[in-house]
Amino acid sequence: MDYFLVRKKFLEYFERQGHRVVSSSSLLPDDPSVLLTTAGVQQFKKYYTGELDPMRDFGGRRVASAQKCFRTSDIDEVGDDTHLTFFEMLGNFSFGDYLKEESIRFGYEFIVKELGVDVSRIEVSVFEGTDGVPRDEESFRIWREEMGIPEERIHFSGMEDNFWGPTGKNGPCGPTTEIYVDGIEVWNIVFNQFFCSGSREELLSGKASLENLSSPGVDTGMGLERLVTIINAKKSVYEVGPLQKIAEEIGGEVTEEREQRMIADHLRSALFLISDGVMPSNKEVGYVLRRLIRRVLARERKIPYEKIFEQIEGIYKGLYDLRAHEAFQVLTKERGKFEKSLGKGLREMASIMKIGAKEAFRLYESYGLSYEVIKDRGEGRLAFTRAEFDAEMEKHREVSKAGMEKKFGGHGLILDTGELKAGSEEEVKKVTRLHTATHLLQAALREVLGPEVKQAGSDITSERLRFDYAAPRKLTEEELRQVETWVRNMVSEDLLVSYEEMPIEEAKRTGALYFFKEKYPERVKVYYVGKSLDEAISKEFCGGPHVTHTGEVGEFQIVKDEAVGAGIRRIRAVVK
C-alpha cells in the first residue's frame, strides 16, 4: 500500500471517528525548551493542561494529524535500514474525551481492518507500573478480552519503554501501550494522565513529580515511513514512499547505497528546515541544518541539487509548501563557505607532520575534511587506522548527542548516558578514561575471582568510577591488590580499544559480557581491548565512549571495596 494512501486512510478513518483533522505545525516548535518538533503531540500540549480550549479551537475534543518531525539523535546512523532525521508522524489525540477503551480499539481497527494486517502479526506492550503509577491492568484486559490478543503476545514493561514524555522542561506524560507488527514497534498510544513538573531525565532520576492533568486524554504517534515499510514487508525505510523516489534519483549520480540514502535523507530534511525558515549557522537549529548540508557536500559535488529539491517539492505538493528554489540558493551560499573552510583545512593539514586519529578528527570536525580526503592527501604522514578514526567520531557523537538531550530538558550535563555523567569537555575526557578503566576492572575481577563475577551497576562521574558486582565472596586485601595490578599492567601495555558493530545474536556468540538488566537493540557494539576481538582481554556490549588506547587511562587506583547488599559489592576507583 502506497505511502500517501496510508496517510490519507489514517486521516479519513479518524475523521469518521469524530476527529478534526489538524495541519502539521512547524518543525520549529512554539516551546523554547525544545529545539525541534519531535512528536505530533507537541503542538497540543496546552489542550491537556487546560491552558487552551479545544472546543473553541477545533469545535471538539478529538483531533488527528500527520506531523512533520525531526530527530537528530541518530544522525550518524542515517543511511542504514531504519534511521532517518525527518519523518511524518501520524497521530490521534483526545483532550478529556476518550481514554483506553476507544484508543485501543481505534488502533487495532486501523491496523487490522483498514490496512489489512493479519492479526497473527500483532503483539502489544503494556505498562508494568512503578512507584505511584499502577500496572495498567485495564489495557491488558482490553487487549486480551475485547481485541482477543492472546496473553503470550501481550508484554509488560516499565518506564523506559512504556511511559512517554514529557518533552521539554515539563508537560503532559503518562503510561503507554504499543502495537508491534512483526516484532517492530509501529504505534505508541500514550495515556496522558499526568503533568510532570520537570523534564523526562528529572522524572527518571526522581527529581520531578507527577500531578493529575486537568484534561487527561490520549496522544498517539505512528511513524509513517516505518509503518509503510512494515506493512509492505520491505526491509528499509528507504525502499518506500518519498525517500525511495529521492534515493533513486540520487542513485544516478552516487552508486554506494548507504551514501545515496544519507544524501536523500539530508536533502529532504534540509529542504523542510529551510522551508520552515531555518538558515545555516553555528548554533542550535541553524547548526543542525549546516551539518546536514555539509555532510552532503563533503561527499558529493556533482548532484543536480536544484533538480532534486524541485522533485521533493513536487512529491509533497498539496501537503506542504516547500521552497526548492530558496533551498538551492541557501545550499549554494553554504557551499561557498564550506569550500573556503576546506581550503583552510587542507593548508592546516599540510602543516601537520604526523596525523593521528585525534588530528584527523579535528580536521574533519573543524574544516569538514572527510576521512577519504585526509587519506588521499596525507600519504606518508598518516598514523591511524579507520577503527581509531571511527572511535574518535564515536566519542564525539556521544557528546553531541548528550548536548542535544540537554536541550530537550537535561540538567546542566553535556554528557549523560545514564552510566557516564560530565558537565564540561574536560570532564568528558575524564569520564571516558574512567569508563575504559571500568571495563578493565570488570575483566580483572573475573581474572581474580572467576567468571561468576557479574556486573550489577556502574556509575561514572569525573571524580571516580563506581562499579557494583555480584560475587560469590568478598575479595581479600591481597586479591584487591592483584585486581589493581592487573588493570595497571593492561594500562602500561597501551592496548588498542576499539569496537565492532554486529547483530545482537552474533555479539552474544563472541562471548562479550552484557548487562542482563538492560534491553539492547537489534545491532549492538562490542567494545574490546586488545589487538582484535578474538585476542581481546575484555569485550563488552557498550555504547562508548572509550579512549582509543589503554595508556590514556592513566594511573588506576582502587579506593574502596564495600558491601552494598546481599551478595553485591561496590568498588570505587580513580585514575590520575
Footprint of ligand SER (CB under 6 A): 39-41, 91, 164, 188, 190, 219-221
Report the phi/psi class of residue 39: left, alpha or beta, with left for phi > 0 and alpha for psi in -120 to 50. Answer: beta
Residue 406 backbone phi and psi in degrees, to 5: -60, -45
Minimum Å gap between C-beta 221 and ligand SER is 2
Kindly provide the b/e burial profile for residues 161-193, where b requires at least 16 CB atoms within 10 angstroms of the residue's own CB: bbbbbbbbbbbbbbbbbbbbbeeebbbbbbbbb
Contacts of 247 by beta carbon, 8 Å cutoff, 6+ apart: 238, 260, 261, 263, 264
> Which CB, 160 or 535, lies closer to ligand SER?
160
Which among 515, 546, 543, 520 has a CA at the least distance from the CA of 453?
515
Grid cell in block for residue 53: 480550549
Q: Name the residue nearer to ligand SER (CB basis): 219 or 427.
A: 219
Measured from the CB atom, the residue of 91 and 345 that comes closer to ligand SER is: 91
Q: How far is the CB of 24 from ligand SER (least distance, A)?
A: 13
DSSP one-letter code for 366:
H
Closest approach of ligand SER to the CB of residue 176, in Å: 7
Q: How far is the CB of 137 from ligand SER (least distance, A)?
A: 22
Smaller CB distance to ligand SER: residue 219 or 398?
A: 219
Count of C-beta atoms within a 10 Å radius of residue 2: 11
Nearer to ligand SER among residue 30 and residue 426 (C-beta): 30
Count of CB atoms within 10 A of residue 415's CB? 27
Q: Least distance from C-beta 105 to ligand SER, angstroms?
A: 17
**DSSP for 196-237, written as a single string:** ESS-HHHHHTT-S-EEEEEEEEEEEEEEHHHHHHHHTT-S-G
Cβ at position 169, least distance to ligand SER in Å: 16
Distance CA 160, CA 411 (A): 19
Shortest spacing between CB 41 and ligand SER, in angstroms: 4
Angle value at C-alpha 119, between 114 and 124, nearest 5 degrees: 100
Please, what is the minimum distance in Å from the beta carbon of residue 93 to ligand SER?
A: 8
| Cβ proximity to ligand SER, 218 vs 453, nearer residue | 218
Pick the closer one to ligand SER by CB: 139 or 311: 139
Q: Could you give the CA distance from residue 539 to residue 520 in angstroms, rounded to a whole number?
A: 16
Nearest 10 degrees: Cα torsion 293, 296, 301, 303: -100
C-alpha cell at 248: 533513486
Q: Between 172 and 545, whose beta carbon lies closer to ligand SER?
A: 172
